[in-house]
Structure 1
Amino acid sequence: MTLTALVALGIYLAWQAINTGIQVAGTGPDGIDLIDLVQHGLAPSLAAACLFLLAVVLVFRWGREVGLARPPQPGTLRVIWPWLLFLALFAANALAAGLPPAAITLFILANTALVGWSEEVMFRGIWLRGLFRSFGIWPAILGSSLIFGAMHVLNVFLTGDLPAAVAQAIAAFLSGTFLAALRLRTGSLWTGIVLHGFWDAGTFLVAYAAPPEAAPESLGAYGSVLFSLPLFLLGLYFLRHAGRDYGREYV
């Protein structure tokens, strides 16, 4: 099957139904904090969404299409260094505040690894490739990032906190553009999978030790937007020649 925008949409709707449907089914009337989803064992919704995408990639043999068939290429460090700086900041804050008990830390790491794999395959893999084939490189970059951001508004059905969900959506669009740059510049989806997982792990580990009113699931309502803005600008810089470099194809 050829991976086009329409095919990507169908896969996305099924993936979203699996992911959000299972989460909402387990949510009480008062909602939950997102950190509750990742600290009490492997989240069924995340595992099911990962298995669904793994089946899609294997059945249609899209490993190369979505960037899973190649390791990061030489020069990767020149692109990922801004993300690494933020990861170092998260690590320092988490260590200073005190890590959760070992079991909770492991569950957070495991669940955020699932998130990193699932969301990168869906957005920087399937959506980016499908939109590129149908509309070209810049619609693919911005379109996949917009859809990635809009998806986070659905968190309101879990938390009941619309302003926080909107802030998460804006931050996701900004960081999603940088992650698209990683996918294109490094030639591999694995770069974004690993960095995405560690980013989410860092935010949850910091949030775990913070007072609920001070740092909910994303380091404050608009803190994540401020963190993501420089990544967005750097992502645009890294992609400044995208029309020339990826006008017809990308690996």
Structure 2
Amino acid sequence: MRVTPRIWIGLAIYVGYLAVIAIVTILGGVPFPEIGKSAETTLKGAVLPLGVAAVLLIVTTTALGWWRPALFDRQRSQYRWPIIAPAVMAVAAVLNLIGTDWSKFDATFLGSLIALGVLVGFCEELMARGLLLTALRSSLREGWVWFLTSALFGLMHMLNVVLGAPVQGTISQVALAFASGTAFYIARRVTGSLVWAMVLHGLWDTSVFAVGFAPKELSIAPLLVFVVAALSLASVYWVIKGANEKLGAGDSAPAAVPV
């Protein structure tokens, strides 16, 4: 690692990421509630801000030399069964996709939706459970690393209020984001790689925007969200237990874990 991880660096990246997303989205002129309702609003309101953020995150991660600790744990969790929470989330995402009327999407709209999913999975995971997590591991025990990355991930959704989202709905989203962030954290710890959390995150957001625009039939997916929340919070202790991921001042980057 070129730069020794420090908590303040992670927090600076977190604040900088939110600032970039806010500025580019505001300049694009698309209110948050309009994102996902057309190809144009999705491209201007989500794909463009996330694309700019992705470039900056890649440059930042490369400059810091944090790719390995951001993407890989030293060791996978010794308990593998908590993967059930992310697995149920994946099932809910698939049900959302099945329950979407895809005839209402043209090629441009579909492409913008896929780009949104890829970019949100990459950006939000690399920022929160990649760079921020690496920074927190420089000084904190793993329990605090889970809690703070999930809490800050949840709180970052309050930015949607500034971008035009209703306050009450956003507060509920913050709480659910804390739980979904826990599911993504579990995916990282059980697999040893952030890549699977990126894939799950991207799949989930794509499915939510798709079914939100063109629902075809009633689905049990919304109920499964609460099941995922309960399972994640009930099982996260077991992927934290025995974790030895804290980075010392002179620590070298952990070896990559095969995906």
| TM-score normalised per structure 2 | 0.80
Matching residue of 1:233: 230
CA distance, structure 2, for counterparts of residue 202 and residue 160 of structure 1: 19
CA distance, structure 2, for counterparts of residue 197 and residue 51 of structure 1: 17
| 1:111 matched to 2:112 | no
Alpha-carbon distance change, 91 to 76 in structure 1, aligned in 2, over 3 angstroms: farther
1:146 maps to a residue whose letter is A
CA distance, structure 2, for counterparts of residue 105 and residue 243 of structure 1: 38
SS class of match (2:36): helix
Report which stretch shifted further, 241-250 or 127-136. Answer: 241-250
SS class of match (1:135): coil
| TM-score normalised per structure 1 | 0.82
CA deviation profile, 1:87-142 (whole Å, cap 9, x unmatched): 221111114x7451122011111122101100000111112222232221111101
Matched-pair contact (CA < 8 Å) for 1:145–1:173: yes
CA RMSD of superposed structures (Å):
3.1
SS class of match (1:35): coil
Which of 145, 151, 155 is residue 150 of structure 1 equivalent to? 155
CA deviation profile, 1:29-85 (whole Å, cap 9, x unmatched): x76423254256973211010111111111122111111699x99x79954421221
CA deviation profile, 1:182-206 (whole Å, cap 9, x unmatched): 1111100100111100101001111
CA distance, structure 1, for counterparts of residue 57 and residue 72 of structure 2: 12
Matched-pair contact (CA < 8 Å) for 1:138–1:242: no
CA distance, structure 2, for counterparts of residue 77 and residue 100 of structure 1: 36
Matching residue of 1:94: 100
Alpha-carbon distance change, 78 to 142 in structure 1, aligned in 2, over 3 angstroms: closer
Matched-pair contact (CA < 8 Å) for 2:18–2:159: no
| 1:64 matched to 2:61 | no
Matched-pair contact (CA < 8 Å) for 1:38–1:112: no
The alpha-carbon deviation at position 166 of structure 1 amounts to 1.4
Matching residue of 2:250: none
Matched-pair contact (CA < 8 Å) for 2:46–2:116: yes
Alpha-carbon distance change, 2 to 189 in structure 1, aligned in 2, over 3 angstroms: same
1:48 maps to a residue whose letter is V
SS class of match (2:4): coil
Matched-pair contact (CA < 8 Å) for 1:174–1:228: no
Matching residue of 2:12: 10
1:90 maps to a residue whose letter is N
Runs of at least 5 residues in structure 2 that lack an aligned partner in the other structure:
248-253, 255-259
Matching residue of 1:44: 48
Correspondence list, 1:1-251, <5 A: 1-27=3-29, 32-36=33-37, 37-38=41-42, 43-67=47-71, 78-79=83-84, 80-95=86-101, 98-210=103-215, 227-249=224-246
Could you list the structure 1 runs, at least 4 aligned residues long, displaced by more than 6 angstroms after superposition: none
CA distance, structure 2, for counterparts of residue 76 and residue 54 of structure 1: 32
The alpha-carbon deviation at position 149 of structure 1 amounts to 0.7
Runs of at least 5 residues in structure 1 that lack an aligned partner in the other structure:
212-218
CA distance, structure 1, for counterparts of residue 166 and residue 231 of structure 2: 30
What count of residue pairs does the alignment treat as equivalent?
A: 237
CA distance, structure 1, for counterparts of residue 194 and residue 178 of structure 2: 18
What is the identity percentage for the equivalent residue pairs of Structure 1 and Structure 2? 25
